[in-house]
Every structure is written in C-alpha cells, then in structure tokens.
C-alpha cells in the first residue's frame, strides 16, 4: 500500500470510529493520550504523534495532547496521568495512541479501534484500561517471547515509525478541524 492510500484508509477509519462514538454526545475536551517512550525506538510512536499533534494544535481550546518527548506517558506513570485527567476534565473523550506488536506480520499498519487499550503496569502488577477509542501503530510481530519482542522494538526502522506518525497526526488534524 502506498502512502496516499494508507493515509486515506487511516482518515476513513478514524473519522468513522470517531463519528460513531461521539455522535449526539457532548464531551468537555478531546484528549490525545500518547503513550510510549523515546528510550525504545519501537515504543516511540505515541510520543512522536504527541509531538507532531502539539505542533499542529497550538493554542486550541478543548483539545489536549498529553504525552510527547518532553512529558512521556508510559507504564510507570500511566496511573498518575489517568488520575490527573479525571481530576482536571469533567467529561473528556480520550483517544489512546500507542505502539503495538501484532499477531500478524502487518508492520506499518495503523489500527483504529472503537475501544481503549490495556497498558501493563508492572509497578502495581496489573493492566490498566485507558481510552474511549485507540490508535495503534504496528511496529512488529509479537513473538510471545519478552526477550525477542524487546529486540524487535529496538530494531524497528525509525522511518517506519515516522511514516506512521506523519499519517496519524496529519490525518487527525484534517479530521478534527479546530478553529
């Protein structure tokens, strides 16, 4: 699939899911919760999208980007970030954005879902569910072996992640026109 068809697929998927979930509902804010770290290349999709969205959505009301290279949101602090969101916003619509390993070999695919995602928090020993919808950038195939998965996350080409982040951030910006 070429870049323009990948972009159109993302825009169509994102606008359809967003419309279905927000139709006839009122939310105080749209929050893009961009999860990941810059310490592991394959896990940088979320913060990279957050960085790009912060550049696009400067000085806009009712839109918040949480998680970028300056303020990472990851398994270590996700619980605290969720509590801050609950305490700060009355009725937000949260779009969780994160990297993913998939069962299939579909690296480079951007998956838009009408559900949130589970973040594994080893500090408290449980998974945390976050988001009203999610966007996941597939960075490799899940081997079901932690050591092999970490190697995959370390060796994913940065260009693949950049391309997915460009498609995602530009697609979101063109679907959600904030004035």
Domains of the chain: residue spans and CATH: 3-175 (3.40.50.1450)
For residue 155, the 8-state DSSP code is: H
User: What is the reported pLDDT for 119?
Assistant: 87
For residue 177, the 8-state DSSP code is: -
The alpha helices in the chain, defined as continuous H runs, are 3-22, 45-56, 78-88, 146-155, 158-175
| Residue 29 Cα to chain centre, angstroms | 17
Q: How far is CA 66 from CA 7, 13, 15, 35, 73, in A?
A: 23, 22, 21, 8, 8
pLDDT tens track, the chain, 179 positions: 677 899 999 999 999 999 999 998 989 899 999 999 999 999 999 999 999 999 987 767 788 999 999 999 998 899 999 999 999 999 999 999 999 998 887 999 999 999 999 987 555 567 889 999 999 999 998 888 888 888 888 889 999 999 999 999 999 999 987 54
Strands 30-34 and 93-102: parallel
User: What is the reported pLDDT for 1?
Assistant: 63
Check: CB of residue 142 under 8 Å from CB of residue 111.
no
User: What is the reported pLDDT for 114?
Assistant: 97
User: What is the reported pLDDT for 179?
Assistant: 41
User: What is the reported pLDDT for 59?
Assistant: 62
């Amino acid at each position: 699939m070429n870049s323009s068809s990948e972009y159109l697929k993302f825009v169509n998927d994102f606008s359809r899911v967003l419309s279905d979930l927000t139709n006839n509902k009122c939310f105080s804010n749209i929050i893009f919760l961009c999860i990941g770290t810059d310490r592991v290349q394959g896990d940088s999709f979320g913060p990279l999208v957050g960085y790009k969205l912060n550049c696009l959505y400067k000085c806009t009301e009712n839109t918040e980007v949480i998680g970028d290279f300056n303020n990472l949101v990851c398994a270590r602090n996700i619980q605290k970030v969720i509590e801050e969101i609950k305490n700060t916003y009355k009725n937000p619509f949260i779009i969780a954005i994160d990297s993913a390993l998939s069962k299939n070999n579909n690296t480079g695919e951007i998956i838009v879902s009408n559900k949130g995602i589970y973040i594994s928090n080893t500090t408290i020993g449980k998974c945390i569910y976050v988001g009203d919808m999610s966007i996941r950038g597939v960075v490799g195939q899940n081997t079901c072996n932690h050591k092999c998965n970490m190697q995959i996350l370390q060796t994913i080409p940065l260009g693949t992640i950049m391309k997915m982040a460009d498609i995602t951030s530009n697609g979101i910006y063109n679907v959600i026109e904030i004035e």
